[in-house]
Amino acid sequence: MPRIPEPLRRLTRGLAVPVGSVLFAFVVGGLIVAGTGGDPVVAYQGLVCGGLGILCSGGENSALQISNTIIFVTPLLMAGVAVALPFRAGLFNIGAEGQYLAGAVACTAIGVKFSTLPAPILLPMVLLGGMAAGAFWAGIAGVLKATTGAHEVVTTIMLNYVAQWLVRYLIIGGPLQLQGGFSVSSPIGPGAQLATILPNDNHRILFGLPSSVYRIHVGLFIALAAVAVFAFLLWRTPLGYEIRAVGQSQRAARYAGVSVRRTIIVTMLIAGAFAGLAGAVQIAGVDHNLTDIYFSDTTGFDAIAVALLGLGSGVGIVLASILFGALHAGGSVMQADAGISSSLVLVLQALILFSIGANFLSAIKVRLPAIGRSPSTPPAAIAAAATATEATGAPPEKDTS
Amino acid sequence: MTVIGDILRLLTTADLWQAALAASVLLLLPALGGVISERSGVVNIAMEGMMLTGAFFGVVADLAWQNVWLATLVAIVAGGAMALIHAVVSIRFRADQIVSGIAINIFAAGMTVFLVRRIYGVQDIGHVGPSELLPNLSIPVLDQIPFVGQVFFQQNVVVYIALFLLVLVQVVLFRTRLGLRIRAVGEHPHAADTAGINVYWIRYGAVITSGLLSGLAGAFLAIGISNTFVPNMTDGRGYIALAAMIFGKWTPLGAFLACLIFGLGEAIYANNSTIHVSQYLLSMLPYILVLVVLTGVIGRSNPPAADGIPYVPGAE
């Protein structure tokens, strides 16, 4: 047998669990469709068409489908980072949704209030404002965790709901509501809007459609930069080292002179800033105002699946974001072409989470080398360990430093 | 001062307390489920999804068979089935219980809407007739007691069941051998195992019970208070129940007190004519209250020691 080079073998090992989980989800999802009288092949064809622009049966435009997917991928990249970073510190941030909404609210509020300012001033204002709002939202959970030991899962759940109701209040009878409109805010000023990548021109035909229909915007580059910053921060900076040290063992980190409390708070602040940026970019790049679609937004919850499936690595987050972005974009085509509710996408997402979380593959004795011992511990295990050690609700011991 | 005067006047009316009790029971059932599950050491943030599943299958069964009791049973079993998934994934496969809980909630939200379309197509799911809803029941004689009669003895049948279950769970958890075992498993599973308690069975039982209770709450919501299924109709109530559980320091009576506070707030808002605060701002209150409690201002609220830790025999 030829010897497989070590890096390749590690790659295969690393990919086995996420790829297996996705396959598991699609198989079970297919069974669910077939079991309820649908045709899984037609359903998945619709998903692939809507997500990747290939195998289309309804005459869909491939370029449009791909650009729709990119629209979904963009916020997922940043929100995925917002979940993945705390994972490395042993914290489970399920509040990315609330932080995302906080960012969207701040961006809208600033973009409306100062709508006459020029882009060089206003654009940084709305993006930084979104980051600050997200950081604040996550910071509440971070400070509570560091000072009273309140579990971040519980506090971020509560903060998610506060944010969701806040959005409803603001645009239904609240201060951000558009005059004479319902469930919609005033639009942000033109200076607060992110430029589209393709010319916003109704007359120029690109890939068979007017180029203005492709809404992809420069926020994509911001998102990719955010992932790069995440990877750099985690592996190339002292703070990243401290975050990983706290995630591995709070006690060991403390003996190494790391301030556990400070690291927890800083990690949550940075994570919240990423999620807040995602919300701000979504407003500035796509929607340009706060609307009722934010009531049922799930970006921050999808981000949990992104971070888990991406095993908390930069490349993994990009790949997982593309998968979930494609699924979301594909759902509507599946519903239109195959008559299968786009909610199947949520079912698939839940199945992926079950599978990743429970590691069914290793449990059914498919011989997989224990990934837990490889240099990159999968975040699910970290999260489990974190819950295990933190469940007592005791605050982190006082730092000696 | 008219606002305070109005609230004080409301507080003296039996109507208000009657509505508050009904509203709090809807939260109490999943909260009791949460208490039982977490006391046995399994973190449960999935009451929302279990409740939603119960609501959906309750309506489906009621529309199909025109029998509210059968429908309620189906709702309870459906909630229990979702809990069984959570139990298998987090006890047998030792998955992260929070990941599993999130997955349950997403699964329920997706699956119910998916099935609405498979079963009913694009048309409306339909409404359950008034005779096939969980009935209100007045207890003869007792309901004639002034004030108390209207509050406690002119209620929906689920309210009586829930109050009975409240007492039952409180007594079982703290006054019986079974309760001692559940708490032992949640505090120190290795010691419990050594003492001959089957940790797995206790945890399976506790988690499934939480699903049964949440399923009943779903039925109360969909075929008691409402008469149809609407996507995501639980609207965070499972999470408010979670909040009530923490607020109540993982005890049934404490959770009930929290539910009563939340329910009272809801009832005051619905019945008053002088408070002009947005209902959306008011909806934040339960969540903010829990955050305040967690700051430790009103005393600490700690979960059971082994809450959230999968049990691995001999691995201490």
Tell me whether residue B316 is in a domain.
no
Tell me whether residue B303 is in a domain.
no
Which pLDDT band holds residue B115 (cuts at 50, 70, 90)? very high
- Apex CA B103: angle with CA A26 and CA A312, to 5°? 85
Find the mean pLDDT for residues A216-235: 95
Closest C-alpha among B43, B34, B9 to residue B272: B9
Measure CB to CB from residue B280 to each of A38, A148, A172 and give the nearest one: A172
Find the mean pLDDT for residues B218-233: 94
Both structure tokens of B87: 């139990």
Q: Is the pLDDT of residue A131 over 90?
A: yes
Find the mean pLDDT for residues A340-361: 87
Give the lowest-confidence range in A380-394, B73-87, B191-205.
Answer: A380-394
Contacts from A33-37 at CB under 8 Å and sequence distance 24+? A33/A340, A33/A344, A36/B114, A36/B115, A36/B118, A37/B118
Which residues from chain A sit within 8 angstroms of residue B306, using beta carbons? 391
Find the mean pLDDT for residues A1-5: 63
CATH of A6-390, one of 1.10.3470, 1.10.101, 1.10.3210, 1.10.4160: 1.10.3470
Highest mean pLDDT among A369-378, B200-209, B234-243: B200-209
Find the mean pLDDT for residues A72-82: 97
Burial A229-266 (b: 16+ CB within 10 A, else e): ebbebbeeeebbebbbbbbbebeebbeeebbbbebbbb
CB A50 within 8 A of CB A329: yes
CB-based contact, B243 to chain A, within 8 Å: yes
Quote the pLDDT of residue A222.
96
Interface test with A, best of B112, B280, B290, B297 (most A CBs within 10 A): B280
Spatial distance between the Cα atoms of B102 and A113, rounded to a whole number of angstroms: 37
Residues 106-165 of A with CB under 8 A from B: 140, 144, 148, 150-151, 153-155, 157-159, 161-162, 164-165
What residues contact A236, with CB distance under 8 A and at least 6 apart? none
Quote the pLDDT of residue B235.
87
Find the mean pLDDT for residues B193-216: 95
**Higher confidence at residue A106 or residue A388?**
A106
Measure CB to CB from residue A353 to each of B106, B113, B280 and give the nearest one: B106
Spatial distance between the Cα atoms of A184 and A290, rounded to a whole number of angstroms: 6
Do B107 and A36 count as a contact with CB atoms less than 8 A apart? no
**Higher confidence at residue A3 or residue B212?**
B212
Q: How far is CA B311 from the centre of its chain?
A: 26
Quote the pLDDT of residue A170.
93
Quote the pLDDT of residue A128.
97
Do A360 and B100 count as a contact with CB atoms less than 8 A apart? no
Do A359 and B95 count as a contact with CB atoms less than 8 A apart? yes
Q: Is the pLDDT of residue A383 over 50?
A: no
CB B27 within 8 A of CB B221: no
pLDDT digits (tens, 9 = 90+) for A13-66: 777 888 889 999 999 999 999 998 889 999 999 999 989 988 888 778 888 999
Percent of chain A with pLDDT over 90: 60
CB A382 within 8 A of CB A88: yes
Per-domain residue ranges for chain A?
A: 6-390
Residues 176-235 of A with CB under 8 A from B: none
Which pLDDT band holds residue A396 (cuts at 50, 70, 90)? low
Q: Is the pLDDT of residue A271 over 60?
A: yes
Do B300 and A393 count as a contact with CB atoms less than 8 A apart? yes
Closest C-alpha among B15, B25, B301, B148 to residue A150: B301
Spatial distance between the Cα atoms of A31 and B179, rounded to a whole number of angstroms: 40
Find the mean pLDDT for residues B166-171: 97
A124 C-beta neighbours (distance < 10 Å), count: 11
CB-based contact, B266 to chain A, within 8 Å: no
Q: How far is CA A165 from the centre of its chain?
A: 21
User: What average pLDDT is seen over chain B?
Assistant: 89
Interface test with A, best of B39, B89, B99, B266 (most A CBs within 10 A): B99
Find the mean pLDDT for residues A296-305: 92
Helices (H), A36-89: 40-52, 62-88
What residues contact B153, with CB distance under 8 A and at least 6 apart? B138, B139, B142, B143, B145
User: What average pLDDT is seen over chain A?
Assistant: 86
Q: What is the DSSP letter of A178?
A: P
Q: How far is CA B181 from the centre of its chain?
A: 23
Which pLDDT band holds residue A360 (cuts at 50, 70, 90)? low
Highest mean pLDDT among A187-196, B139-148, B264-273: A187-196
Quote the pLDDT of residue A244.
93
Domain of B178? 2-294
CB A228 within 8 A of CB A314: yes
Tell me whether residue B102 is in a domain.
yes
CB-based contact, B300 to chain A, within 8 Å: yes
Quote the pLDDT of residue A374.
36
Quote the pLDDT of residue A4.
67
Closest C-alpha among B225, B57, B236, B244 to residue B166: B244
Spatial distance between the Cα atoms of A41 and A199, rounded to a whole number of angstroms: 37
Do A363 and B93 count as a contact with CB atoms less than 8 A apart? yes
Quote the pLDDT of residue A378.
41
Quote the pLDDT of residue B213.
98
Do A154 and B283 count as a contact with CB atoms less than 8 A apart? no
Find the mean pLDDT for residues B275-295: 81
CB-based contact, B235 to chain A, within 8 Å: no
pLDDT digits (tens, 9 = 90+) for B37-92: 999 999 999 999 999 999 999 999 999 999 999 999 999 999 999 999 999 999 98
Q: Into how many domains does chain B fold?
A: 1
CB A245 within 8 A of CB A100: no
Find the mean pLDDT for residues A158-167: 93
Which pLDDT band holds residue A363 (cuts at 50, 70, 90)? very low
Residues 14-43 of B with CB under 8 A from A: 43
Tell me whether residue B313 is in a domain.
no
Longest dimension (CA), chain A: 73
Give the CATH number, domain containing residue B266: 1.10.3470
Q: Is the pLDDT of residue A214 over 50?
A: yes
Which pLDDT band holds residue A182 (cuts at 50, 70, 90)? confident
pLDDT digits (tens, 9 = 90+) for A19-32: 889 999 999 999 99
Percent of chain A with pLDDT over 70: 88
Q: Closest residue of A to B46, CA-based?
A: A157
Percent of chain B with pLDDT over 90: 58
Tell me whether residue B152 is in a domain.
yes
Do A301 and B45 count as a contact with CB atoms less than 8 A apart? no
Distance from CA of B6 to the nearest CA of A (A): 23
Q: Closest residue of B to A383, CA-based?
A: B96
